[in-house]
Structure 1
């Protein structure tokens, strides 16, 4: 067992006490924790390579349990049972953070139920640990269990692939067909296409809230939204070309946080994936849809963007949507070849819609003959995947047949 110790205190029986104890399964995670301990200047810390059994053995020797305890679940066949045994040797005041390799929501919820404060998926970073463990306040940052909306980010592999068309029609479908409250945020600060496609004018609300982030409250944000119907609201800007963006880092996060308190879905339409706002959007998205077309350039950029989006602490689930914004022509990349090059399946391929869609966008209306063409059917499928409605439909269908899904 490799151990890193910094200025430890000794108990009455010679066993060493520490405010921060961590047992991890690999050297890389150990090094990250060492860096975190040193950066936070914690005087009493104990970092070791080991498993839950090692943690239990160590805690049985110390006079007092630590304030923070990090344990690695890698290799644990029955993590809940192992943590139950660990709890028997811990004082109730110990704040336990579990880490592991499984990005499993079910496991996360089960861990919270038995008293674990948080669950972090490896690889760890110092920034992630700083957001989780507040040394100055002496507590693990609380995991919010309050019901909150989901942040959905849309980004294109290149220009002209129909990001706003898909995102806007998904928002419209969620609001009108599934009766969710939706906030649509157009992050193109110089005037995105969303307003013209909806037939509304921008009030520069996005600029307002980003520049006044310290004064924001739910009522302030609500006043900046432009309504499109009773359940869909738009937040956008129409700044002049060359205008300087005068807002602080993290401003978008605060705006989205407030919106999630009032809306089922907050849809972020990302114009430029290299923009500062785009980076913040990816950092706080609960789901990302990457839109591409069947071109060689879009195929290459999809590979790069997937790596860029998913190489983040929040590691947002990312799905690829293959759109056909133009009529079929020779020379396009085959769908199978696209998926082979990208290294994953396409969630949905949206077929080309020649007349109804273009007319609707120019008139600022919803596409006519909804549900009767390939485009609107694709939007419905994306919405069903997002809301889980496809599972409800499947169960209903099986009940009609007198069957059950095992």
Structure 2
């Protein structure tokens, strides 16, 4: 067979990294990787160490495209292949034709190569390659491509997952989570979900006077048997903007919840594209540490005093170790104005902390308490308009960076063709 190839001489335009759109946990996948160069092998090692690969089973081989051809002569190919190749264009296309004989129709292929050419890219996509990345590649770039492939081929797009945690007890993280969730739903991203993972002392159900007789305890008890229909029945709908999975009596759980059950719960909750907020207990809780690694974004709520500053610094360092390649958490400075004599100003607080504050929320103890007594979300009331306005920068930040699957809708070629 003679292949008539296009003129592979036109370089691909440089495509910027999409670092502002964090990639969440990849779904459970089986990936076979075939490397050719030490540089790409190091990149693959970085993939395996990333938090996004927590549920991925990856087997790494050397040999590139030839190694893949040899491996699958007598063994079935997994659902996703990541292959680095230095083959010339004609040899590459002939090798892919041979490889296709050993792959199921549902097998997806991400190629990494040395040719930076748009005509080659078009030919590869025409032949069914899911994506092609010219070297050099980064961990973030490969993660982004894998997430795109997963979301477009048999894995339903999920809504964003945001973890809310306090720098200390009493910082007001639960209040910020509840009110932000309602505002995200009101902003037009569909009904938002709030999951109260503080199994012992969660307050979301109490704050809204919900009859949470079943709630999260039953969801976690169901484990892998939990399905979307059961979960929908366990959520309490507050209004068209918000539904809540409230904390109930954790004593009813026969054992501590597993991280797998929490992952399954959060995946189901956002399976139809809905944004989900996790209201977490303090960082000493194992489920909190797991959720902080798993979430798309993290919101840290703190207070404008020395204890808040010290604890925030510690928390940021701990979260950075868990999420080394991700943006900083979004920081909300809460209870501003509560104690003006000992308070650290927002500008000085941010300067000392070393990162910008996303939102500053003035103290309004009476207003929030009154809304709680009425079973209302404070920002949904007339008295809560000031708090709603103060939290808008946080809502916008979550809306802009919290829906990676939607932002990644166009494949590489379309992104290139739409550049000016």
After TM superposition, the score normalised by the length of structure 1 is 0.66
Distance 1:381 1:72, change over 3 A: same
Structure 1 residue 250, shift from structure 2 partner: 1.2
**Which 5+ residue runs of structure 2 have no aligned equivalent?**
1-31, 50-56, 65-82, 104-108, 402-419
Determine the C-alpha separation between the residues in 2 that align with 1:258 and 1:329. 44
Say yes or no: does 1:387 pair with 2:404. Answer: no
SS in structure 2 at match of 1:345: coil
**Aligned 8 A contact 1:156 1:290 in 2:** yes
Match of 1:204 among 167, 190, 214: 214
Could you tell me how far 1:311 is from its partner in structure 2? Answer: 3.7
2:205 touches 2:247 (CA, 8 Å); kept in 1? no
| Cα deviations by residue, 1:282-324 (Å, 9 ceiling, x for unpaired) | 2331221111111223223223322333444695542111112
* Paired residues for 1:183-332 under 5 Å: 183-239=193-249, 245-262=255-272, 264-312=274-322, 315-317=325-327, 318-324=329-335, 327-332=338-343
Other-structure match for 1:352: 363
Of the candidates 5, 13, 21, which is equivalent to residue 35 of structure 2? 21
For 1:61 and 1:150, the matched residues in 2 are separated by: 38
Instruction: Please state whether the residue corresponding to 2:86 is helix, strand or coil.
Output: helix
Question: Residues 261-287 of structure 1, C-alpha deviation per residue, up to 9 Å, x if partnerless?
Answer: 245211110112232222332233122
- Cα RMSD after superposing both structures: 4.4
Which residue in the other structure is 2:95 paired with? Answer: 64
- Alignment CA distance shift 1:250-1:313 (3 Å): farther
Question: Do the aligned residues in 1 keep the contact of 2:204 with 2:247 (CA within 8 Å)?
Answer: no
State the alpha-carbon separation in 2 of the partners of residues 328 and 41 from structure 1: 56
By how many angstroms is 1:347 displaced? 1.0
Q: Per-residue deviation at 1:28?
A: 4.4
CA deviation digits over 1:113-138, x for unaligned, max 9?
xxxxx279xxxxxxxxxxx9xxxxxx
d(CA) in 1 for partners of 2:168 and 2:219? 28
SS of the equivalent of 2:95 reads coil
Q: In 1, distance between residues paired with 2:199 and 2:84? A: 54
C-alpha distance in 1 between matches for 2:46 and 2:209: 51
Distance in 2, matches of 1:297 and 1:380, equals: 26
Question: Do the aligned partners of 2:333 and 2:359 also contact (CA within 8 Å) in 1?
Answer: yes
Q: Distance in 2 between matches of 1:268 and 1:307?
A: 21
Correspondence for 1:150: 160
Contact 2:174/2:203 (CA < 8 Å) preserved in 1? yes
Structure number with the higher helix fraction is 2
CA distance in 2, matches of 1:174, 1:262: 16
Distance 1:244 1:255, change over 3 A: same
> For structure 1, which segment, 19-28 or 181-190, has the greater mean C-alpha deviation from structure 2 after superposition?
19-28
Task: Find the counterpart in structure 2 of residue 45 from structure 1.
Answer: 62
Match of 1:76 in 2: none
Secondary structure of the 1:264 match is: coil
Change (3 A) 1:59 1:207: farther
Inter-CA distance 366–24: structure 2 relative to 1 (3 Å threshold): same
SS in structure 1 opposite 2:239? coil
Alpha-carbon distance in 2 for matches of 1:33, 1:278: 23
User: Residue 400 of structure 1 aligns with which residue?
Assistant: none
For residues 47 and 208 of structure 2, the distance between their equivalents in structure 1, rounded to whole angstroms, comes to 50
Q: How far apart in 2 are the matches of 1:92 and 1:161?
A: 55
